[in-house]
Amino acid sequence: MPRKNANSIEAVGNIVKKCTKVSKEIVSENVKESDDLCAKPKHVLDLNQFKFEKKPPIKIEFENDSPGKEKGKGLWEPNNWKDFLINLRIMRSNNDAPVDTMGCHMSMDENAPPKVIRYQSLISLMLSSQTKDQVTFAAMERLRARGLTIDNVLKMSDEELGKLIYPVGFWKTKVKYIKKTTQTLKDQYDGDIPDTADKLCKLTGVGPKMAHICMKVAWNKVTGIGVDTHVHRISNRIGWVKKPTATPEDTRKSLQTWLPFDLWSEVNHLMVGFGQTICLPVGPMCHECLNRDICPSRDKGRKSPNKKSPNKKSPKVLKEVKAEKLDYVLPTLLKDFEETPTEPNKSNIDIKIKTENSVTENLASEIKDTKVDIELSKKSVAGQNVLKRKSPRTAKQNIKSKKEA
- Pairing, β 74-75 against β 348-352: unpaired
Known active-site residue 209: yes
In the set 24, 51, 82, 209, the catalytic residue is 209
- The residues that are catalytic are 209
